[in-house]
Amino acid sequence: MQIEGTGALVAGGASGLGEATARRLHAGGAHVVIADLNEDRGQALERDLGDRATFVRTDVTDEDAVLDAVSAAASQLVPLRIAVSCAGIGWAARVAGKRGPHPLEPFETVIRINLIGTFNVLRLAATEMLENQPTESGERGVCVNTASIAAFDGQIGQIAYSASKGAIVGMTLPAARDLSTVGVRVCAIAPGTFDTPLLASLPEESRDALGEAVPFPSRLGRPEEFAALVAHIVENEMLNGEVIRLDGALRMPPR
């Protein structure tokens, strides 16, 4: 799939991995819809990118909101062929401890945003892609979801986050198989420790320690590196049903 001249939807596209992805796809010639709850950052990115960039305030767990974002992407001069889901949150708590059991509400919230939100974008974007004229090879679109190495190496206190990301890993292959007959590919990226707003609040020494734990390169990942992999997945049509770790060979210890 060529990036130039296509429509792209980036959920969670106003910051972090999503912002880098929106910038990379836009630089490649795509018409990009930035779907995010953060209006200030989303509108600022829209202005910064200029032509071929549109911000749509979007709650990924809301069907109507995602439909609006998909419609905005489909209403461009080019069809929607790329959908990337980067929206997500985290929560730290043990299953049980001195303070009692893990609170149920934040667990449900993490699952709803990270997993159900990702599925919501996937199903609605893929449905729109069904209307596309296929390329010469029969391809109509590609969807890239964001998992995490926490899906495989979940640390103490990461039960909610790991469960949500593990489920994204688990739905990658069946989603790719479901959509194979209509020429829509599905992949997921499982990033390690990346320099995103989620880590920006940590003290510098803590951030340095996280980077030093990566075998090579011994640093935090850069959002642009995530975006580069998204672009490669889009352009390499043999990548389908795959979860790709992007972690510098990091395997997370228990804590």
Interatomic CA distance for residues 143 and 183, integer angstroms: 11
**Is domain 7-246 given the CATH code 3.40.50.720 in the classification?**
yes
What is the number of alpha carbons within 13 Å of residue 82 lying toward its C-beta? 33
pLDDT band at residue 207 using 50, 70 and 90 as cut-offs:
confident
Could you give the residue numbers annotated as active site?
161
Is the pLDDT score of 236 beyond 90? Answer: yes
What is the mean predicted confidence (pLDDT) over 221-245?
Answer: 98
Nearest 5°: phi and psi at 126?
A: -65, -40
- pLDDT tens digits for 44-69? 999 999 999 999 999 999 999 999 99
Check whether 198 has a pLDDT greater than 80.
no
Pairing of strands 31-36, 53-57: parallel
CB atoms within 10 A of CB 36: 27
pLDDT the model gives residue 132: 96
Q: b vs e for 76-95, b when ≥16 Cβ sit within 10 Å of the residue's Cβ?
A: bebbbbbbbbbbbbbbebee
3-state secondary structure of 239: coil
Give the pLDDT mean for 177-203: 91
Query: In sequence order, what E strands does 17-73 have?
Result: 31-36, 53-57
pLDDT (0 to 100) of residue 67: 96
Separation between Cα atoms, residue 198 and residue 39, nearest integer Å: 18
pLDDT of residue 240: 98
Q: How confident is the model at residue 136 (pLDDT cuts 50, 70, 90)?
A: very high
Tens digits of residue pLDDT in 139-177: 999 999 999 999 999 999 999 999 999 999 999 999 999
Domain map of the chain by residue range? 7-246
CA 158 → CA 118, 164, 174, 189, distances in Å?
19, 10, 25, 19
Burial bucket for residue 201 (CB in 10 Å: 0-12, 13-18, 19+): exposed
| Contact assessment for residue 188 and residue 225, using Cβ atoms and an 8 Å cutoff | no
Considering only CA atoms, which of 110, 82, 111 is closest in space to residue 187? 82
Q: Which of 66, 109, 111, 79 is closest to 1 using CA atoms?
A: 79
